[in-house]
C-alpha cells in the first residue's frame, strides 16, 4: 500500500459546489468536482489532451470541461473531445465519498475503510482544517506528546512547575500507538473554565490513540476533581487527520465533539458552539505557530536529546513507514537514547 491507498478527508463538502476545486496530496495535484446528480469526481489535475489544469475549468451539464480546448470529463474519468467526437480516452479517476461533512478520496479499488467516529452522547463542536509548513512526521510528533502543552498552548495542558508529576503510559499494537497522560491542569482563564467545564489544578487526562490508515489521532480529554476524583461535566473527543500535502507541508483536518451528559447540557453546547469552536481553534493555532517556527524541520531524529515524553516518535515512524507508506519494515527507524 501507499499514501493514496488510504481514505483522506481532503475538502469540506460545503466548499465543493458548482466550481471544481484543485487540491494537493502526497505531492500530486488533483481536481474535485460535482458531476451529474451531485456525484463527486476526482482525478489528477491535468488534462490528458494538452496538460492544462482541469481545476481552472467549469462543470457543464454534469461534466468537467477543460478551459483550454473544451474537452469534457465525467466522474469516472471518461473524456471526450468536441473537435474529434470519435476520440475517447480515460483519465485516472479516484474513489470518493462524503462523510463527517468532508469529501474523502483514495486510489480506485484500494481496500480501505473510512474511519468511524464513535459519538454516542457527544455534540458536534466544529470541523476545521489547517496548513502546517512541516513534514508529516514532525507534525505528528507535536500532536503526540504533551511536554509542550505548558508553554505552547493557551488553555489546555499541564502545569510547567509540575511536569515531573505527569504520568505517561505508552501502549502499542501492530497498527496503533496509544498514549495516556495524567497530571495537574495549568492555570486557565475563568471564562474557559466555565465553557469547557474544568478548573485550574484539576487532574487532566489526555488519552489518545494514533492510527495509520490514514494517519490520524483520536483524543479523549477530560478532567477530574483532585480531591474527590469525580470527573468534571465535560469530555472532549477530537479527531485530527494528518494529510501530507508534500514533503514540506501537512494539512490538519480537525473534528471536535463534546460530551453532553444531560439534555440541558446538550442545549448549552449548541448555544455556545461558536465559543467552544474558538477555544479548539486557538489551541490548534498555537501548535501551528510553534511548528512553523522550528529551526530544523527535518524528520530525522539523530542529534535530538529525547525525554520520556518522546517515546512515541520512533513507534509512529515505524508504522508510517510500514502501514501508511507501504515500505519495507526491514529498514526500521533508529531512535536516539531516551532519558527517563
**Per-residue cell: 311:** 517515546
- What was the pLDDT predicted at 75? 95
Cβ neighbours of residue 102 closer than 8 Å, sequence gap 6 or more: 9, 10, 11, 12, 13, 127, 253
Residue found by looking up cell 471564562 in the block:
191
Chunked in runs of 10, what are the mean pLDDT values of the chain (340 residues)?
Answer: 93 96 97 95 95 96 95 94 82 95 96 95 96 98 98 97 96 97 96 90 97 98 96 93 98 95 87 95 98 97 93 96 85 61
- What was the pLDDT predicted at 86? 76
Among 297, 338, 122, 319, which Cα is nearest to 219's?
122
- What was the pLDDT predicted at 90? 82
What's the whole-model pTM score? 0.95
Q: What's phi and psi for 161, nearest 5 deg?
A: -70, -10
- What was the pLDDT predicted at 307? 94
CA distance 242 to 296: 20
CA distance 315 to 279: 30
Among 106, 76, 71, which Cα is nearest to 92's?
76
Enumerate domains of the chain plus CATH numbers.
3-107 (2.102.10.10), 122-324 (3.90.380.10)
Q: What's phi and psi for 273, nearest 5 deg?
A: -50, -45
Residue found by looking up cell 473510512 in the block:
114
- What was the pLDDT predicted at 333? 57
CA distance 137 to 142: 9
Amino acid at each position: 500500500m501507499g499514501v493514496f491507498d488510504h481514505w483522506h478527508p481532503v475538502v469540506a463538502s460545503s466548499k465543493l459546489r458548482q466550481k471544481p476545486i484543485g487540491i494537493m496530496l502526497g505531492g500530486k495535484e488533483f481536481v474535485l468536482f460535482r458531476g451529474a446528480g451531485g456525484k463527486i469526481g476526482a482525478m489528477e489535475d491535468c488534462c490528458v489532451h494538452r496538460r492544462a489544469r482541469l481545476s481552472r475549468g467549469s462543470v457543464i451539464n454534469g461534466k468537467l470541461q477543460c478551459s483550454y480546448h473544451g474537452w469534457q470529463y465525467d466522474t469516472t474519468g471518461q473524456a471526450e473531445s468536441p473537435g474529434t467526437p470519435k476520440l475517447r480516452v480515460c483519465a485516472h479517476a479516484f474513489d470518493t465519498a462524503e462523510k463527517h461533512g468532508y469529501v474523502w478520496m483514495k486510489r480506485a479499488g484500494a481496500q480501505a475503510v473510512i474511519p468511524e467516529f464513535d459519538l454516542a452522547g457527544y455534540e458536534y463542536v466544529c470541523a476545521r482544517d489547517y496548513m502546517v509548513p512541516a513534514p508529516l512526521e514532525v507534525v505528528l510528533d507535536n500532536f503526540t506528546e504533551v511536554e509542550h502543552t505548558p508553554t505552547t498552548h493557551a488553555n489546555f495542558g499541564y502545569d510547567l512547575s509540575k511536569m515531573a508529576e505527569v504520568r505517561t503510559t505508552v501502549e502499542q499494537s501492530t497498527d496503533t500507538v496509544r498514549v495516556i497522560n495524567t497530571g495537574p491542569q495549568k492555570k486557565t482563564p475563568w471564562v474557559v473554565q466555565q465553557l469547557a467545564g474544568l478548573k485550574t489544578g484539576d487532574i487532566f487526562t489526555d488519552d489518545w490513540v494514533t492510527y495509520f490508515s490514514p494517519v490520524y489521532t483520536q483524543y479523549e480529554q477530560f478532567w477530574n476533581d483532585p480531591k474527590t476524583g469525580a470527573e468534571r461535566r465535560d469530555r472532549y473527543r477530537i479527531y485530527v487527520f494528518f494529510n501530507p500535502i508534500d514533503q514540506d507541508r501537512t494539512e490538519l483536518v480537525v473534528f471536535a465533539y463534546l460530551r453532553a451528559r444531560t439534555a440541558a447540557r446538550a442545549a448549552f453546547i449548541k448555544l455556545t458552539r461558536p465559543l467552544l469552536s474558538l477555544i479548539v481553534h486557538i489551541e490548534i493555532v498555537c501548535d501551528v505557530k510553534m511548528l512553523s517556527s522550528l529551526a530544523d524541520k527535518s524528520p530525522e531524529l539523530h542529534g535530538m536529546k529525547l525525554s520520556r515524553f518522546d517515546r512515541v516518535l520512533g513507534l509512529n515512524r515505524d508504522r508510517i513507514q510500514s502501514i501508511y507508506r507501504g515500505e519495507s519494515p526491514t529498514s526500521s527507524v533508529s531512535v536516539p537514547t531516551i532519558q527517563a
